[in-house]
Amino acid sequence: MKRFAVILSSVVVAFAFIAMTTSNVQAQSQQFNLSATVEKYVEVNPNFNIVDVPNQVIDPGEPGSDEAGNYGGLTGMTMEDAAYANCKVSVTYEGNNAAGDGEPILAREEVNGNGFDRLVTLVWIRHYINGDYGDPGWDRKDVWFKSDNNGASTGNWSTGSFATGKSFQFDHVPHDGEIDLTLNFDAALPHESPDFGTDNTWNQSADAGEYTATLTATYSAL
C-alpha cells in the first residue's frame, strides 16, 4: 500500500512590541513563527518487492509517478484583539527563513549541507474590524502568500477581492479599538512522495525534520 509522508503543522505567535508611551505610538511589530515537521519515511517500490531475474534480466515494469502533492488542509488559529488602535492603521507583512529567502517559506538546511530544502507554503491571514459584515465601518482585509510549487525560494502575495498583497490599510477607525485576525497556513512536499519513476532534483525531496519560517506584521498609525 502506498503511504505518504505526513506533515504536521503548528503556529506560534511571538509579540515583539516596541516600547511606547500613550502619546507617541508610530509603529509596532507582531511576529508569527511558522513550523512544519516532515516525518521520517521509507517505502519500498511495490514493483520491486519481488524481483524475478531469469537469465540475469531484471524487468521491473513501468513504475508510475504521481502529480505534485495537494495541500492536506489549512491549520490555523484565531486571535481576538490581535492589535489595538484608536486611529486608522496600515499593516505591512514581511517574511523570512533560515535560507534568507526574504519570504515566509518553510525551509531547513539539508542534512549533508548541500543547501536548503523548502516546503510548498501557503499562508492566509484575514483581518477584521468593527463587528460583522454590514455593520457601520465594518472592514476586512486578507493577506495571501503561496510559494512556488516546486519548492523554490520564491512565491506570490495575492491581490484581488479582499486580498491586498503584503500591505493594506484600514480606512475606518476600529470602533472598539480591536483588530481581530484569523491566521491559516498549510505546507506540502514539493512533489508527491514517494514518486517512483520520476527523477527528482536534490531540492525536490524534502529531508525529514522541522522546517521553519517567520512572518512579521508591522502596524503603523495613520
Across the chain, what does the average pLDDT equal? 76
pLDDT at 148 over 70: yes
pLDDT at 21 over 70: no
144 in a domain, yes or no? yes
Residues 2/213/203/158 CA torsion (nearest 10 deg): 90
211 in a domain, yes or no? yes
* 3-class DSSP state of 204: helix
* 3-class DSSP state of 61: coil
62 in a domain, yes or no? no
pLDDT at residue number 75:
58
pTM of the shown model: 0.75
51 in a domain, yes or no? no
pLDDT at residue number 174:
93
User: Over the stretch 23-43, which tens digit does the pLDDT of each residue have?
Assistant: 455 788 898 898 988 888 777
Q: CA-CA distance, 213 to 204, in Å (whole number)?
A: 18
52 in a domain, yes or no? no
Q: Which phi and psi angles does 5 have, rounded to 5°? A: -60, 135
Query: pLDDT class for 20, splitting at 50, 70, 90?
Result: very low
1 in a domain, yes or no? no
Q: Which phi and psi angles does 188 have, rounded to 5°? A: -145, 155
Region 8-19: mean pLDDT is: 44
User: Over the stretch 101-136, which tens digit does the pLDDT of each residue have?
Assistant: 999 999 999 988 889 999 888 989 999 999 888 899
Q: Which of 96, 78, 119, 85 is nearest to 216 (CA)?
A: 96
Q: Is cis: bond before 194, omega within 30 of 0?
A: yes
Q: What is the DSSP letter of 176?
A: T
Q: 70-99: b or e for each residue (b if 16 or more CB lie within 10 Å)?
A: eeeeebbeebeebbebeeebebbbbbbbeb
The three cell numbers locating residue 206: 524534502
Domain span at residue 94 reads: 7-40+67-198+206-221
Strands (E), the chain: 7-16, 27-38, 75-84, 89-96, 107-109, 116-118, 120-129, 139-147, 155-157, 159-160, 163-164, 167-170, 178-188, 209-221
52 Cβ contact partners less than 8 Å away, ≥ 6 residues apart:
59
146 in a domain, yes or no? yes
Which residue type occupies 25? Answer: V
Number of structural domains in the chain = 1
User: Over the stretch 69-105, which tens digit does the pLDDT of each residue have?
Assistant: 344 445 566 666 788 889 999 999 999 999 999 999 9
60 in a domain, yes or no? no
Q: What is the DSSP letter of 55?
A: G
